[in-house]
Amino acid sequence: METVNEVYKIPVMISKGMFQLFSSHMEILAVVGGCFILWNFFSFLHFWYSMIQQYAIPCFLSRSKHIRQYGEWAIVTGATSGIGKAYAEELASHGMNIILVSRNPEKLKEVSEAIAATYKVKTRFIVADFSLGREVYPHIKEALRNVEVGILVNNAGVFHDYPQITTEVPEDKLWEIINVNIGAAVMMVHIVLPGMVQRKRGAIVNVSSGTCCKATPLMNIYASSKVT
Ligand SMILES: NC(=O)c1ccc[n+]([C@@H]2O[C@H](COP(=O)([O-])OP(=O)(O)OC[C@H]3O[C@@H](n4cnc5c(N)ncnc54)[C@H](OP(=O)(O)O)[C@@H]3O)[C@@H](O)[C@H]2O)c1
Ligand SMILES: *[C@@H]1O[C@H](CO)[C@@H](O)[C@H](O)[C@H]1NC(C)=O
C-alpha cells in the first residue's frame, strides 16, 4: 500500500516542481506549445525522410536484379485492370515473368499478350473467379505446379457497390467480399508459401486499403476485409 501511495504522489510532486520552476501559467503553456511545435517539426522531417528513402532513392538505383532474386515468376491476382495491372507491368519491367489471375479470359489474354510484347518477358494466365470460394483453388494449384513463384501480389479485391449500412448489404455481396478479399489472399498464400519456404526466397505483397486504418461507416465490411 505504501508503494502505491508513493506512486500517486509523483505527478503531484512534478506539478509542484513545475510551478516552482516557472513563475506563471503562461510560461508552462509556452513550454507545452514549444514541445508541440518540436514534435510536429520532427514528424515532418521523419515523413519526408521516409518519402525520399522509399520513393526517391529507388528511382536512382537499379532494383531489377534485387527483385529477380526472389524467383523467375510473379503472380498477380486481379491483374487485368487498375492497381493489379500496374503491379504486373512494373514487375515485368524489372524482367519478372508474370502470371495473371482474374475472371475474364479475353481481358487476361489481351493484357498478358501486351505485357509479353512490351517487356519481353514470359506471361501466363489463370482464369479464376475467387467469389466462388473453395472450388477454384484445386485448379489454381494445378496450374502452378512446378512453377517457381518468387513474388505473389494479392491484389484482387471487391468493394461494396455503394456505401451501405451493414444490415442492408445483400448476403451475396457479403460472401463475395469475404471470398475475394479474404479467402483469395489466404488461399493464394497457402498455395505458394510452401515452395517459397523450400527455396528460402520469395515475397508476398498484400494490397490493403486506407479504409482499414480508421472507422469507416457505411463501408465497414470492406474495411475490415482489407486489414492485413
Ligand atoms: N481503387 C482504389 O481507390 C483502391 C483504394 C484502396 C485499395 N484498393 C485495393 O486495391 C485492389 C485493386 O483495386 P482496383 O481499384 O485497382 O481494382 P479494379 O480496377 O476494380 O480491378 C480489379 C481486378 O480484380 C479482378 N477481379 C475482380 N473480381 C474478381 C474475382 N471475383 N475473381 C478474380 N478476379 C477478380 C478484375 O478482373 P476481372 O473483372 O476480369 O475478374 C480486375 O483485374 C483491391 O484489392 C482494392 O481493395 C483500391
Ligand atoms: C498477407 O495476407 C496473408 C493472408 O491473409 C497473411 O497470411 C500474411 O500474414 C499477410 N502479410 C502481411 C505482411 O500482412
Q: What is the DSSP string of 92-131?
A: HHTT-EEEEEES-HHHHHHHHHHHHHHH---EEEEE--GG
When pLDDT is averaged across residues 21-38 and rounded to a whole number, the result is: 85
Q: Measured in angstroms, how far is the CA atom of residue 31 from the centroid of ligand 2?
A: 44
Q: Measured in angstroms, how far is the CA atom of residue 154 from the centroid of ligand 2?
A: 9
pTM of the model: 0.82
Helix or strand holding residue 204 (H, E): strand 203-206
Going by pLDDT thresholds of 50, 70 and 90, the confidence category of residue 26 is confident
Using a 6 Å cutoff on CB, does residue 223 contact ligand 1? no
Are residue 195 and residue 210 in the same domain, yes or no? yes
| 119 included as an active-site residue | no
Ligand nearest to the CA of 187: 2
Least confident of 12-21, 88-97, 113-122, 181-190: 12-21
Residue 18 CA from chain centroid, whole number: 45
Q: Measured in angstroms, how far is the CA atom of residue 223 from the centroid of ligand 2?
A: 16
CB atoms closer than 10 angstroms to residue 190: 11
Going by pLDDT thresholds of 50, 70 and 90, the confidence category of residue 190 is very high
The domain spanning residue 219 has which CATH number?
Answer: 3.40.50.720
Q: By residue range, what is the domain housing residue 40?
A: 2-59
Query: Do the Cβ atoms of 100 and 76 come closer than 8 Å?
Result: yes
pLDDT in the model for residue 103? 97
Ligand nearest to the CA of 181: 1
Going by pLDDT thresholds of 50, 70 and 90, the confidence category of residue 174 is very high
Q: Which residue has the cell 508552462?
A: 28
Question: At which of 30, 59, 88 does a domain end?
Answer: 59
